Amino acid sequence: MDYQALADLLFPNVTETPDSLEEKFPLRQLPEGAVVTRMAPSPTGFVHLGNLVQGLTAERMAHQSGGILFLRVEDTDAKREVPGAVEVLINTLKHYGIHFDEGATIDGDNGAYGPYRQRQRADIYHVYAKKLVSEGMAYPCFCTEEELSAMREKQEANKETTGYYGKYATWRDRSAEDIQAKLDASAPWVLRFRSTGSIENQFKFDDLVKGKLTITENDVDHVLLKSDGIPTYHFAHAVDDHLMRTTHVVRGDEWLPTLPFHIQLFKALDFKLPKYVHIGPLMKMDGTSKRKLSKRKDPELALTYYKAEGFPVEAVYEYIMTLLNSNYEDWRRANPTADPTTFKFSPKKLNPAGNLFDYAKLTDVSKNEIAKMDAPKVYALLTEWAKEFDEDFATKLESDSEFATKILAIGRGGKKPRKDIATWKEAKPYMGFFYDEYLQEPVFDEKFDNATIIDVLNRFLNSFNIADDSGIWFDKVKNITEDIGFTTDMKAYKADPSAFKGTVADVSTFIRQAVTGKTSSPDLYTVMQILGEQRTRERIQNTIARLS
Ligand code: GLU
Q: Over its length of 548 residues, how does the chain's per-residue pLDDT go in tens digits?
A: 899 999 999 999 998 999 999 999 999 999 999 999 999 999 888 889 999 999 999 999 999 999 999 999 999 988 888 888 889 889 889 989 899 999 999 989 999 999 999 999 999 999 999 999 999 999 999 999 999 999 999 999 999 999 999 999 999 999 999 999 999 999 999 999 999 999 999 999 999 999 999 999 999 999 999 999 999 999 999 999 999 999 999 999 999 999 999 999 999 999 999 999 999 999 999 889 999 999 889 888 999 899 999 999 999 999 999 999 999 999 999 998 899 999 999 999 999 999 999 999 999 999 999 999 999 999 999 999 999 999 999 999 999 999 999 999 999 988 888 899 999 999 999 999 999 999 999 999 999 999 999 999 999 999 999 999 999 999 999 999 999 999 999 999 999 999 899 999 999 999 999 999 999 999 999 999 999 999 999 999 999 999 99
- List the end-to-end C-alpha distance of the chain, in Å, as a whole number: 103
User: Between 3-10 and 122-134, two packed helices, what is the crossing angle to 10 degrees?
Assistant: 160
Cα(40) to centroid of ligand 1, in Å? 5
- Residue nearest atom 10 of ligand 1, based on CA coordinates: 41
User: pLDDT at position 30, please?
Assistant: 96
Burial of 455 (0-12, 13-18, 19+ CB in 10 A): middle
Indicate the residue type of 131: K
Q: Give strand ranges (E) for 443-518.
A: none
- Please tell me the distance between residue 234's alpha carbon and the centre of ligand 1 in angstroms: 10
Find out whether 456 and 484 touch, Cβ atoms under 8 Å.
yes
d(CA 177, CA 187): 14
Q: Report which ligand 1 atom has the smallest distance to the Cα of 54.
A: 8
Question: Residue 159: its pLDDT value, please?
Answer: 96
Residue with the nearest Cα to atom 4 of ligand 1? 41
With 0-12 / 13-18 / 19 or more C-beta atoms within 10 angstroms meaning exposed / middle / buried, residue 37 is: buried
Strand order in the sheet with 190-193: 138-141, 190-193, 223-225
CA atoms within 13 A on the CB side of 332: 18
CA 314 – ligand 1 centroid, Å: 26
Q: How far is the CA of 33 from the centre of ligand 1 (A)?
A: 24
Name the residue of 233, 241, 275 to mutate for ligand 1: max ligand atoms within 8 A of Cβ.
233
Distance 313 CA to ligand 1 centre (A): 24
Rounded CA separation 289/295 (Å): 18
Around ligand 1, the residues with Cβ closer than 6 Å are: 40-42, 74, 237, 249, 251-252
